[in-house]
């Protein structure tokens, strides 16, 4: 298994490598660090700058296999996607925008481009991400709209392979619910039924003590996300919007709000993604 890591000689590049290493440690995956430089489409690989290559590879510990290359392309985003296709990569990893709040997300042009075009899952490292230990938990955000099954399959398969706990989270934004004759228990009832269904499916693949379910709710997404607690060693897996083209990513409004509220890395899975492996 191989992960493509978008590398630039800045904080975002270091954040991306740190996250890729953490994910690879629990999977035994190989990293391909790719520096995309501007050039005509089709120029292909270029000789890597030895200093740049050495700096990037020095951020990868000895127990993780990694290579470095430079790719010339008119688009940084599509350069990474081309390499991911060539490598048959399971994941593209990039850093968030450099002007974000420490360990929170703002989505820069590269991340935004990948979140609207990538045919493979994309992992986003929050600013300042520097964890050294392997993953300790996977959290799957499972909404009630079409497509939640594919995200659950990716999460459960990844948790089983990595022998880490799986947390299933359904988020309800109270302010968006019908306010007429409002009763919280009744309003949350469909979501409660949904998480029970999701839990039953996940429990069929994982030991009972390895899967939990949480119904997160608040006046808004940000309040709901802040209220459920996070471990430094976890990542969140979400699905792309139903508006996405087949086998591509499009980040919907709810996923966008979740992303901007998270203190931990996030992996976005393309619509109708079949490979299951990350």
Give me the domains of the chain, ranges plus CATH numbers: 2-125 (3.40.50.620), 137-269 (3.40.50.620)
Q: What tokens appear for 228 in the block?
A: 């459920």
Helical axes 184-203 vs 148-162, angle rounded to 10°: 50
pTM of the model: 0.84
Mean pLDDT of the chain: 80
How far is residue 60's CA from residue 255's CA, in Å, rounded to a whole number?
30
- 240 vs 163, residue with greater confidence: 163
Lowest mean pLDDT among 113-117, 131-135, 229-233, 246-250: 246-250
At residue 94, the pLDDT reads: 94
- 34 vs 46, residue with greater confidence: 34
How far is residue 267's CA from residue 73's CA, in Å, rounded to a whole number?
25
Mean pLDDT computed over 6-25: 93
């Amino acid at each position: 298994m191989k992960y493509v890591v978008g590398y630039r000689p800045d904080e975002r590049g270091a954040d991306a490598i740190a996250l890729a290493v953490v994910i690879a440690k629990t999977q035994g995956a190989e990293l391909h660090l790719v520096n995309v430089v501007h050039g005509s489409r089709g120029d292909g690989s270029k000789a890597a700058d030895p200093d740049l290559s050495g700096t990037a590879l020095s951020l990868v510990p000895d127990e993780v296999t990694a290579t470095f290359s430079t790719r010339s392309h008119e688009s940084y985003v599509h350069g990474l996607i081309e390499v991911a296709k060539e490598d048959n990569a399971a994941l593209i990893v990039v850093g968030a925008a450099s002007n974000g709040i420490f360990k929170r997300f703002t989505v820069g042009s590269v991340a935004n481009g990948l979140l609207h075009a990538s045919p493979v899952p994309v992992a986003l490292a929050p600013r300042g991400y520097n964890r050294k230990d392997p993953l300790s938990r996977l959290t799957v955000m499972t909404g009630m709209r079409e497509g939640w099954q594919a995200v659950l399959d990716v999460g459960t398969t990844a948790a089983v392979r990595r022998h880490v706990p799986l947390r299933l989270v359904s988020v309800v934004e109270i302010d968006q619910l019908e306010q007429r004759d409002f009763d919280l228990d009744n309003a949350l009832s469909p979501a409660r039924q949904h998480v029970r269904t999701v839990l039953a499916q996940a429990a069929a693949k994982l030991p009972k003590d390895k899967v939990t379910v949480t119904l997160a709710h608040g006046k808004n997404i940000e309040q709901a996300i802040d209220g459920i607690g996070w471990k430094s060693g976890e990542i969140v897996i979400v699905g792309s919007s139903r508006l996405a083209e087949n086998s591509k990513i499009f980040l919907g409004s709810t996923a966008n709000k979740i992303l901007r509220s998270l203190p931990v890395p996030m992996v976005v899975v393309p619509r109708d993604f079949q490979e299951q492996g990350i």
